[in-house]
Structure 1
Amino acid sequence: MSEFDVIVLGATGYTGQRVCEYLARRALETGQRWAVAGRRMDTLSPLVERFGAFGAIAADCTQTTGAADLAARGRIIANLAGPYYGRAEPLVGACAAAGTHYLDLTGELIFVRGIIDRFDAIARASGARIAPVAGYEALPFDLMALALLEDYMARYGDSPARIDLLAGAVTPPPGVTGLGEMISGGTAETMRVMLENDFSGLSLDPTALNPADDLDRDAIRRAMPYDMTPRDDDLEPWSTPIFPGPFLHPAVVNRTFALLRREQVPVSTGILYRERMSSSAVTTGAMRAPAAYAMAATASAMGWLANTPLRMPRSLMKNMVDRFAPSPGAGPSLEHLDLWHWTLRGRASGAQGAVEITLDADGHPGYRTTANMIGEAALILADPDSAKPDRAGVLTPALALGTAVLDRFSAAGMRFSRPAVTA
């Protein structure tokens, strides 16, 4: 039996401390034991007293021995110690071998592709659920897409033709300015890792995370090309690409669909998954169309930068990230975190009709809500009695958790609702 239900690695960082804040309250309600972990006991011990953790573990998880020791002590490791590429592989491997569940906040496709190839079979054999990309990028999008797929298939008995998600325009509270208040240091670090290391072309492949032997990849690429420009059939006219990572969520959602097909769920390879962001709060009237096209051009340029073999433009972009973006471990003023609000609207549609789901959420999406959702997801995965599906391997957040637990995320400030089915 594991000593702790949840272990928070990277607990001393900005987002790590926000996860501790959540567990300090929520774990008392669920009756689960949790601990903090990191490299140095002198920085961990104050967190035990401050947040009421049940223990502190000093471990260097970039090394095989330290990673194995940590994996042996918890039901699940929530790894907030990014960047992940080149550092977190020993811990993922240790969790996969030990049957310990694992969550992280990575947005690094090159890292996720690597752990799929190295550890998926090992995790399936041990029963471990390895769920990377479990923060705002991409847990709510992945869960919403799965719930829409399930609702449509339950209603109409067939796979939908398309799934659309529209993120509401996220506007800061009054007086809040600066890039450090908008995107997380972890998101900025993902961009750095991509620009320094990833010459693989993964960022422009919507099947980047599908099983390597998936024979449907070409069909999926044809059905779901990366099209950043606004379209007449979008959920909102003149909406923009999702920022800061328009190339991440489709790859995660497509892995969800691909693994469901492996379970003999009849998910069409021709589904168009398309996600957009509302521009209504930042532009009005005649400016919305040019703003949407400008954002589309920016997203396309990001895709080119992420995949060009030319080092000079990648280096210039990395220098801009280093200069203007927040550093890992940094974050906005704490008094602002709870003043944000954001929404996500989803629709699955086909020849027979459509179904919709909405998500209404409190807190800064990249910091407060992300910390809350990964804290709740860790508690769900650590609970042997929670209503999660029987799966193992390197999964997506949606497949690791399942949609039967959607209501539990209300404790994290995320309220899913299913309006009436539309004809």
Structure 2
Amino acid sequence: MAGPNPRSYDLVLYGATGYTGDLTAQYITTHLPSDLRWAIAGRTLSKLNTLASTLAILRPDRPPPAIVTVEHTKEGLSALANTTRVLITAVGPFHRYGSVVMEACATTGTHYLDSTGETPWVYEVAHKYHDLAKKNGACLITQCAMDSAPADLAAYALVRFLREKCDAGTKEVVHSIQEWKNGMSGGTLHSLVGVAGGYPFAHLKESIKPLALSVDGVRPQSKPRSFGLSGTRREEEVGLLTDSVIGISDTGLVYRSWSLMEYGEAFSYFTGMKAANRVSGFLWHAGLAMSLPMLLISPLRKMLTSVLPSPGEGPSEKAKARDRTSWQTVAFCDNSSAQKAVCEMEYSGDMYSLTALLLSEAAMVLLQPDGENWAQKLGGGVLTPATLGDQYVERVKAAGLSMQTTLIGQ
């Protein structure tokens, strides 16, 4: 890798033997440069050795990663962070295990990437570690995964596109999941259920507000929209929408990107998933509205946890072969014109493989920045995937995330 560096590694993958970690290790082995100085890290040496053997079979022509055992303690993780330029963590649930990793990176000036979708935890650490990370030049990028990074990148690409083509800011972005054929891992499901019991109700309530992740004191002129009682909303370019299961995490992340970058003062964001019709959309909306509060009841959480797949388990190779996801996003100029732009995205593959791609390519941008992205301009902090800019968009497109933006209207 370019440039001298006193640290032992360019990249450390922590939690490499878990479901997402294993896929990320495979992606790094098969796609990233062979001169990458990297290590796989975790608590159990035998599991790390087994993974290293698997990676050697995948790419026998490249040097194997180093193996680092580490205890999940403040001291152990601070020492680990001090050995590397970038640390990817796949150790969840993040509300239980993530804060000490992020603190270690913020303190040591180490760039950080994670795969969380736990918005209440992101709300906690974004306000807790942003200033410390910026002081030490660490870019701490959360939610760099399947659930919210595509929404964040689509919004960023559209804002950039409208600025370039129309010389205008963006008034509104409407994001939609058009197709979602994916299984869920045990770790993801346990995280989603467990986070509801990890915080007081007041914290949970505050963290899921649309602007909760925005930088302190930064608010748009426009009030975020919601579905209301009908549970649906029709938008010409994206169709009839209802609640998205990842709508809360998408919304918070995109508004944080807006607050860190220049999207337009009147910016607003809305997200959903395609509904077959208004009746099914309303029923889905009502079902989510009733089921989410049930996670606050401890006996119901324990009952649900007992029937979920174990952490570390995930969809089979046969099941993943059928997976596919597509998104469609529309953005409107904030000037008086009727111009708007549409971003169509598609990924043929499972979402955990997409997470591995997103994490790994983000690491390469942090290691080899082009000098143009907002993460560098901001100088660090708790940031978002979109702050990695055009370089990141181009890397993930080249790696297999189809993404096309077009201008429509007069």
TM-score tier after normalising by the smaller chain length: 0.7 to 0.9
Correspondence for 1:102 among 102, 112, 132: 112
Write the mapping of 1:34-113 to structure 2, written as runs, cut at 5 A: 34-52=38-56, 53-61=64-72, 63-113=73-123
- 2:15 touches 2:90 (CA, 8 Å); kept in 1? yes
In structure 2, the partner of 1:393 is 381
Alpha-carbon deviations, 1:170-202, whole Å to 9, x = none? 236xxxxxxxxx223233123223221232113
Aligned length: 388
Correspondence for 1:409 among 384, 389, 396: 396
In structure 2, the partner of 1:16 is 21
Distance 1:303 1:127, change over 3 A: same
Please state whether the residue corresponding to 1:161 is helix, strand or coil. Answer: strand
In structure 2, the partner of 1:276 is 272
Q: 2:293 aligned with 1:334, yes or no?
A: no
After TM superposition, give the deviation of residue 361 of structure 1 in Å: 1.0
- Percent identity, aligned pairs only, is 24
Q: Distance in 2 between matches of 1:273 and 1:299?
A: 20
After TM superposition, give the deviation of residue 39 of structure 1 in Å: 0.7
Moved more, 72-81 or 335-344: 335-344
- 1:206 touches 1:225 (CA, 8 Å); kept in 2? no
Q: Distance in 2 between matches of 1:27 and 1:377?
A: 11
In structure 2, the partner of 1:132 is 142
After TM superposition, give the deviation of residue 387 of structure 1 in Å: 5.6
After TM superposition, give the deviation of residue 48 of structure 1 in Å: 2.0
In structure 2, the partner of 1:229 is 231
After TM superposition, give the deviation of residue 147 of structure 1 in Å: 1.2
In structure 1, the partner of 2:59 is none
Distance 1:239 1:320, change over 3 A: farther
- 1:345 touches 1:359 (CA, 8 Å); kept in 2? yes
- 1:164 touches 1:235 (CA, 8 Å); kept in 2? no
Amino acid at match of 2:225: M
Q: Distance in 2 between matches of 1:232 and 1:23?
A: 41
Alpha-carbon deviations, 1:391-422, whole Å to 9, x = none? 310011111x1133312113442122223444
Alpha-carbon deviations, 1:298-337, whole Å to 9, x = none? 232345456xxxx5xx225413531443332110112332
After TM superposition, give the deviation of residue 57 of structure 1 in Å: 0.7
Distance 1:248 1:123, change over 3 A: same
Q: Distance in 2 between matches of 1:204 and 1:92?
A: 21
Q: Distance in 1 between matches of 2:289 and 2:10?
A: 43
- 1:380 touches 1:386 (CA, 8 Å); kept in 2? no
Please state whether the residue corresponding to 2:214 is helix, strand or coil. Answer: coil
Q: Which runs of 5+ in 1 are unaligned?
A: 173-181
Q: Distance in 2 between matches of 1:76 and 1:338?
A: 31
In structure 2, the partner of 1:259 is 260
Amino acid at match of 1:105: S
After TM superposition, give the deviation of residue 162 of structure 1 in Å: 1.3
Distance 1:242 1:354, change over 3 A: same
After TM superposition, give the deviation of residue 140 of structure 1 in Å: 0.9
In structure 2, the partner of 1:241 is 243
After TM superposition, give the deviation of residue 255 of structure 1 in Å: 0.8
In structure 1, the partner of 2:217 is 213
Amino acid at match of 1:395: L
Alpha-carbon deviations, 1:6-48, whole Å to 9, x = none? 211111111111111111111246x422210001222212222
Q: Distance in 1 between matches of 2:226 and 2:272?
A: 14
Distance 1:171 1:148, change over 3 A: same
Q: Distance in 1 between matches of 2:165 and 2:381?
A: 29
After TM superposition, give the deviation of residue 348 of structure 1 in Å: 0.5
In structure 1, the partner of 2:346 is 360
Q: Which runs of 5+ in 2 are unaligned?
A: 57-63
Q: Distance in 2 between matches of 1:28 and 1:207?
A: 38
**TM-score, length-scaled by structure 2:** 0.87
- 2:370 touches 2:391 (CA, 8 Å); kept in 1? no
Q: Distance in 2 between matches of 1:226 and 1:58?
A: 48
Distance 1:317 1:375, change over 3 A: farther
In structure 2, the partner of 1:195 is 196
Q: Distance in 2 between matches of 1:139 and 1:131?
A: 10
Q: Answer 1 or 2: which has greater strand percent.
A: 2
Amino acid at match of 1:92: M
- 1:224 touches 1:273 (CA, 8 Å); kept in 2? yes
Q: Distance in 1 between matches of 2:234 and 2:50?
A: 54
